[in-house]
């Protein structure tokens, strides 16, 4: 609690004690009304002086109709009514109590909001306070990260945040990237590798040569993005602020009408007008009507939702995107780098009869060992994975003869082999089986005889299939994949991952057209999300209703172009983002309906005289407290 809140707390305690003491005394001893009035004014002013002052100032500046005004009119009205009716209607007790509860509610709100604000900002607290600059003479000085120039040498000890992007010049260590990616597994880093700011150094001392200024570093960009996110307001927030602008004056006029019209009608009809009854009903009406519950809880929900997302490595650029995300009907994915690793791997080894698979792989890897082609790399990787002690020394391969567009012939350990595509096998007059699975096929022949083939393909990401299933479950109608790859590859990936549709052989420009077509086909109420890895995707990312860029660690372009940025490249985060947004919007709607519902009912009851001041206080303060507590639920994420 800050100083202001503490003062309010003391005022609440003092006036509550006075109020109880007075209420008890009043019931035990008969006191003249005027004396009671004077006595009740003491706790009333203790608790309400600031509200009264603000209300008066508001009127002086022609800024009527705010909640201070509502409260001041309601309480002053109740007390005056008590004075004039000798305590028959309204009363001193109610007047003071309403003000007291209002202040309790305000205090609670300010403490709760302050606390969740701090919680959320703590989640996003990746701002480094200083950088240890290594001088020419090796001396270390603490500097403001803003003052460190590009190309400076900085030192990061274990436990410290990496303040600026750079390249490790000395030392090895493990990094905690949880603040950036939500991933708890530490990441290894060594000399010559790129390091991004915002990570926490865990084990060893690192010397880093900076490659960017602080303002251009990853950490600054992320902070900037998160801090600005609550500036982009959602439709719900805009609705509430417009609503409040119309609502408060409307309620005030309604209350005035309630105080004047019925008694006048009664009077004209010849009945007892009962002015005081109708005035007290109008005052009750005013207390109920305070829009605070909505005005505070809706932005708080979005803020908490965005906070929860950022702590899971999902950066949402604005409340509007969080809202739109929950309305997604079509999800479009780029294949390479998003659903698949974008790296070629050996996926299948098919030796001919009587041939050993390990032998086949070794021959192929060795024959291709001179090439720098990605296929050669993946063969070598597969070999070392299978047999870490495999001897890959170049001396084993001799007499390499490349046949462009076909493959190569070579001498491996004295065995004459040919390794290449189907065309090479045709050239050698060999008949080979057609592989059933999609991918690039490497055929191997030895001594003029076919001995098997190896399949190399871009592998699906772990969790891609699960992510798509989760998305379906959270309400996505259609999952579509776009790719520049050929039909066979696209088809097999789409089938295995369970995509509803796919489009193959697209040139980069075709992707935008495809998005246009999908946008035209969707229902007017649903949104289209495009997920890409941020490389060459910028036009598509900006054309879609919501662009999600994956694996943003270090890619500025992706952070700029997308509306939602996933810090690592796990596709399951898309589903998580969707869950967070749906939960947040559900809570927002709950709060809107709950607050409007309770207030609506109480307003009717109040106008009919069934609800008294105490009900009114609940309808105002109680609803707000519940709405704020509900909003804070947006912070927690089920994994």
Partner 1 sequence: MKKTYNIEVDCAACAQKMEDAANTVAGVIEATVSFMTQKMKVVFEEGADPAQVMPEVLKACKVVEDDCDIELE
User: What residues are labeled active site?
Assistant: 334
Task: Decide: helix, strand or coil at residue 187.
Answer: strand
Q: Which is nearer to partner 1, 157 or 636 (CB)?
A: 636
Pick the closest to residue 334 from 508, 518, 483 (CA basis). 483
The contact mask relative to partner 1 for 584-623 (x = CB under 8 A, - = no) is ----------------------------------------
User: Least distance in Å: CB of 227 to partner 1?
Assistant: 6
Alpha-carbon span 387 to 502, nearest angstrom = 37
Q: What are phi and psi of 340, to 5 degrees?
A: -115, 165
Alpha-carbon span 204 to 101, nearest angstrom = 56
Decide: 478 and 497 in contact? Cβ < 8 Å: no
- Does the footprint of partner 1 cover residue 244 (CB under 8 A)? yes
- Does the footprint of partner 1 cover residue 117 (CB under 8 A)? yes
- Does the footprint of partner 1 cover residue 120 (CB under 8 A)? yes
Q: Which is nearer to partner 1, 529 or 631 (CB)?
A: 631
Alpha-carbon span 364 to 536, nearest angstrom = 34
Candidates 37, 52, 66, 637; binder of partner 1 (CB under 8 A) is 66
Decide: 561 and 281 in contact? Cβ < 8 Å: no
User: Least distance in Å: CB of 54 to partner 1?
Assistant: 6
Q: What's the count of helices (H) and strands (E) in the chain, helices before strands?
A: 21, 22
Alpha-carbon span 70 to 248, nearest angstrom = 9
Q: Which is nearer to partner 1, 277 or 297 (CB)?
A: 297
Candidates 110, 421, 536, 612; binder of partner 1 (CB under 8 A) is 110
Q: Which stretch binds partner 1 (CB under 8 A): 55-63, 91-99, 206-214, 431-439?
A: 55-63
Candidates 189, 296, 468, 550; binder of partner 1 (CB under 8 A) is 296
User: Least distance in Å: CB of 283 to partner 1?
Assistant: 21
Judged by CB under 8 A, the number of residues near partner 1 is 27
Q: Which is nearer to partner 1, 228 or 398 (CB)?
A: 228
Site for partner 1 in 388-417 (CB under 8 A): none
Instruction: Please give the helix or strand (H or E) that residue 528 lies within, else none.
Output: strand 527-532
Candidates 105, 145, 198, 299; binder of partner 1 (CB under 8 A) is 299
Candidates 3, 30, 32, 61; binder of partner 1 (CB under 8 A) is 61
- Does the footprint of partner 1 cover residue 276 (CB under 8 A)? no
Candidates 43, 166, 198, 291; binder of partner 1 (CB under 8 A) is 291
Q: Tokens standing for 332?
A: 């479009």
- Does the footprint of partner 1 cover residue 335 (CB under 8 A)? no
- Does the footprint of partner 1 cover residue 8 (CB under 8 A)? no
Q: Which is nearer to partner 1, 206 or 623 (CB)?
A: 623
User: Least distance in Å: CB of 117 to partner 1?
Assistant: 6
- Does the footprint of partner 1 cover residue 300 (CB under 8 A)? yes
The contact mask relative to partner 1 for 213-242 (x = CB under 8 A, - = no) is --------------xx-xx-x-------x-
449 Rama class: left (phi>0) / alpha (psi -120 to 50) / beta: beta
Q: Which is nearer to partner 1, 242 or 473 (CB)?
A: 242
Task: Tell whether the torsion through CA atoms of 77, 82, 84 and 88 is positive or negative.
Answer: positive
Pick the closest to residue 561 from 580, 535, 581 (CA basis). 535
User: Least distance in Å: CB of 182 to partner 1?
Assistant: 21
| Residue 86: CA count within 13 A, CB half-sphere | 3
Pick the closest to residue 529 from 549, 557, 552 (CA basis). 549
- Does the footprint of partner 1 cover residue 57 (CB under 8 A)? yes
Candidates 33, 85, 119, 121; binder of partner 1 (CB under 8 A) is 121
Any residues with CB less than 8 A from the CB of 55 and at least 6 apart, and which? Answer: 68, 69, 71, 72, 73
221-249 in b/e form (b: 16+ CB < 10 A) is: bbbebbeebbebbbebbeebeebbeebbe
Q: Tokens standing for 477?
A: 């109608």
Q: Tokens standing for 528?
A: 């289209």
Q: Which is nearer to partner 1, 296 or 425 (CB)?
A: 296
Candidates 168, 259, 295, 438; binder of partner 1 (CB under 8 A) is 295
Site for partner 1 in 484-543 (CB under 8 A): none
**Residue whose token pair is 């609550």:** 230
Q: Which is nearer to partner 1, 100 or 300 (CB)?
A: 300
User: Least distance in Å: CB of 321 to partner 1?
Assistant: 15
User: Least distance in Å: CB of 595 to partner 1?
Assistant: 13
Beta strands 501-503; 478-482: pairing state: parallel
Decide: 573 and 558 in contact? Cβ < 8 Å: no
Alpha-carbon span 149 to 143, nearest angstrom = 11
- Does the footprint of partner 1 cover residue 67 (CB under 8 A)? yes
User: Least distance in Å: CB of 1 to partner 1?
Assistant: 14
Q: What are phi and psi of 570, to 5 degrees?
A: -80, 120
**Residue whose token pair is 């939960």:** 583
Task: Decide: helix, strand or coil at residue 630.
Answer: helix
- Does the footprint of partner 1 cover residue 3 (CB under 8 A)? no
User: Least distance in Å: CB of 258 to partner 1?
Assistant: 24
Q: Tokens standing for 589?
A: 């709607």
| Largest Cα–Cα separation, the chain | 122
User: Least distance in Å: CB of 247 to partner 1?
Assistant: 11
**Binding region for partner 1 (CB under 8 A):** 54, 57, 61, 63, 66-67, 106, 109-110, 113, 117, 120-121, 227-228, 230-231, 233, 241, 244, 291-292, 295-296, 299-300, 303
């Amino acid at each position: 609690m800050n100083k202001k809140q503490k003062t309010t707390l003391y005022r609440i305690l003092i006036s509550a004690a006075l109020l109880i003491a007075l209420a008890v005394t009043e019931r035990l001893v008969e006191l003249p009304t005027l004396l009671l009035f004077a006595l009740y004014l003491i706790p009333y002013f203790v608790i309400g002086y600031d509200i009264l002052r603000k209300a008066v100032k508001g009127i002086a500046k022609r800024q009527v109709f705010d909640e201070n005004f509502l409260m001041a009119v309601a309480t002053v009205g109740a007390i005056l009514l008590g004075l004039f009716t000798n305590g028959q209607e309204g009363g001193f007790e109610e007047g003071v109590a309403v003000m007291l509860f209002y202040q309790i509610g305000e205090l609670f709100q300010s403490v709760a909001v302050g606390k969740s604000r701090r919680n959320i900002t703590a989640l996003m607290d990746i701002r480094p306070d200083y950088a240890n600059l290594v001088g020419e003479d090796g001396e270390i000085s603490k500097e403001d990260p803003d003052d460190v120039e590009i190309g400076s040498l900085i030192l990061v000890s274990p436990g410290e945040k990496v303040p600026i992007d750079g390249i490790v010049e000395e030392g090895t260590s493990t990094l905690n990237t949880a603040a950036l990616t939500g991933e708890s597994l530490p990441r290894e880093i060594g000399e010559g590798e790129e390091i991004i700011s915002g990570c926490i150094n865990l084990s060893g001392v690192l010397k880093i040569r900076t490659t960017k200024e602080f303002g251009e570093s990853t950490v600054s960009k992320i902070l900037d993005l998160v801090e600005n996110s609550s500036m982009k307001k959602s439709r719900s927030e805009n609705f509430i602020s417009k609503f409040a602008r119309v609502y408060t004056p409307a309620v005030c006029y309604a209350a005035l009408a309630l105080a004047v019209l019925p008694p006048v009608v009664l009077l004209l009809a010849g009945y007892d007008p009962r002015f005081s009854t109708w005035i007290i009903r109008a005052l009750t009406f005013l207390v109920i009507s305070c829009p605070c519950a909505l005005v505070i809880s809706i932005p708080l929900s979005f803020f908490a939702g965005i906070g929860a997302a950022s702590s899971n490595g999902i950066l949402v650029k604005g409340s509007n995107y969080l809202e739109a995300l929950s309305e997604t009907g079509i999800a479009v994915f780029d294949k390479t780098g998003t659903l698949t690793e974008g790296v070629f791997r050996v996926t299948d080894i098919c030796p001919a009869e009587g041939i050993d698979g390990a032998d086949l792989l070794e021959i192929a890897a060795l024959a291709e060992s001179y090439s720098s082609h990605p296929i050669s790399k993946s063969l070598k990787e597969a070999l070392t994975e299978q047999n870490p002690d495999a001897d890959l020394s170049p001396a084993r391969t001799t007499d390499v003869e490349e046949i462009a567009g076909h493959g190569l012939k070579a001498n491996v350990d004295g065995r004459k082999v040919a390794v290449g595509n189907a065309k090479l096998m045709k050239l050698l007059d060999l008949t080979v089986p057609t592989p059933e699975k999609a991918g690039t096929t490497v055929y191997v022949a030895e001594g003029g005889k076919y001995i098997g083939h190896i399949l190399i393909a871009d592998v699906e990401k772990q969790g891609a299939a699960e992510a798509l299933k989760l998305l379906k479950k959270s309400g996505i109608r259609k999952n579509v994949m776009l790719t520049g790859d050929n039909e066979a590859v696209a088809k097999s990936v789409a089938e295995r991952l369970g995509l509803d549709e796919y489009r193959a052989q697209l040139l980069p420009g075709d992707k935008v057209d495809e998005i246009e077509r999908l946008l035209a086909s969707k229902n007017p109420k649903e949104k289209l999300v495009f997920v890409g890895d941020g490389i060459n995707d910028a036009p598509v990312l900006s054309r879609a209703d919501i662009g999600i860029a994956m694996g943003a660690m270090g890619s500025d372009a992706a952070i700029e172009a997308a509306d939602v940025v996933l810090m690592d490249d796990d596709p399951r985060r898309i589903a998580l983002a969707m869950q967070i947004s749906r939960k947040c919007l559900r809570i927002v709607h709950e709060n809107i309906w709950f607050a409007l519902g309770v207030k609506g009912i109480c307003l009717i009851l109040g106008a009919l005289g069934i609800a008294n001041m105490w009900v009114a206080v609940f309808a105002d303060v109680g609803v707000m407290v519940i709405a704020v507590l509900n909003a804070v639920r947006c912070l927690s994420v089920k994994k």
